[in-house]
Structure 1
């Protein structure tokens, strides 16, 4: 089976198709698709040509093959791909693994064989960083005991040891060392210092639940870059917080990126696409037009009516990549705060729109460190005032 076919399969999965749908799209059996997923432990390889990662993507390897065949030098290939010459030189040396022992004939570089070699090397077990570095393990354990989160620990270690990469570790490595047996040497009881306090990681969706591709959706990669700056109000992130399974209840959450200003959607009876659309249109049309620029949501079926929402509200709606909650980080953090009012596993349908507005008002009047201890309401009011009276423009009494 050509390795290119497997990577086409993973591109379809990344775009939102299920395993069996992606297998059908590239013309292989569903059993083959499930086998590919099993061989990689469900982890998608790096594929996208436009997304820079530490590892070369398959598309970049194809480009290296074409340029190498055209007798381009290492530095020229590196310049065209925007990579370091050492990266290209190391990649071209992969051909030595494609020769028989004792054969000194240099084979041409082939992207598919180089990718297969890289994948094989990536699958090999490595010593866990926290298991082999005693000083790093002690630092991480001490900070966990002070109730620092893995992400805070990872970020702070780079600040405290800027010239010592051996004392750096990713937050995911810390989680792996806590949750996955054999992946590290952290004491298992340290999980009680995590915010969730769970002894096991819990999947975000029930077993067997699957999300399909939403027709006409626009990926977050096409969202305007100025949204990242948080300088202008009107860019929102949204999601649902779910109640107990038996109740089937939910509350919609909308958070403005620049200020953290929060709106809560009262969903009557269910959280179907029609119900979510009605609630969102009702709430968003109460806002001034300059506060309705963009909305970023995940690929949940509750947003299947996104075209209608965009037409009525004027919002440009973008969808996150699958399994990428960090692309809505402001909303994810706010949902964590809301669990103080709406605990997991409870029936959320008992809360009416008046109570939801009261909770939102409390959050919007809570001082925030990132706003220099202003409240979201104050920060939003200041941004709107600056828009109405830009510097250097005289106002009349």
Structure 2
């Protein structure tokens, strides 16, 4: 693992990253390399926090499932029974299960949201409530790239009288003992890694543009490295966490006596891990199997984020790994780490 990680640094593929592997309840690999800031004055540390983009969605899912566990709503009742404004233009029968499995037909914000700021939460939620879905909910799938957190936030506000940020930070994070945050507190700000693009044209690559263009700024480091962004909640992408925290979480994910099962109860824990839908994901551009918020194949249960960060539990080898990077590029670096472990990270895709 050290040799492969060092190669990534030596060849210039990596400028700042953390790597953690857990097995049998303990961390057996912890490596860091490079710098945490664009000026290269802060060396990477074990507690460096990274924004891993769509890996964040895993914890949005958990916040939603806590509300289900508490009886605020069910997976299969129409969202509109709680979020009245949402039940229009073909979304009357959309369910939380549709949202969590990326079948709700809203993989991107509508064109009418183009003039909104990235952090206009209420306006972005309202745009989703007013919009028609791109396909009938439950009939196709495509990862809800930027919309996932706003949809769940709207559901939690209407059904449970709370917000996504509050549910995660007050309930999920303490229950799982996670060094992970939606909306960073002041004392944690000096631990955050600055994101940087591998190439100047990276934000405009075809894999990103169709799904991440509205509202403007989601891939612009001037925004995502700002204090305002780091202390806000944009659930689909802006969790901040460490490699050790993510690997530890995935190492306990499937345990029947682990913290995730205790948080959700056995029935919802099984739902979380079970394959829910297999099909062609329009955003990934490939055939994929979704659980409730995670990607699964015969070898791994995983989630990655655009830019190259990824974490997974190996069903074959019973270890967990997290690779979190601040250098935004493809997933080839995490794939090389996975290969060194005997895993195949094809499941993560390009999201």
Q: TM-score range by the shorter chain?
A: under 0.3
Higher helix share: 1
- Between the two structures, name the one with larger relative contact order (CA 8 Å, sep ≥ 6): 2
- Counting strand residues as a fraction of each chain, which structure ranks higher? 2
Greater Cα radius of gyration, structure 1 or 2: 1
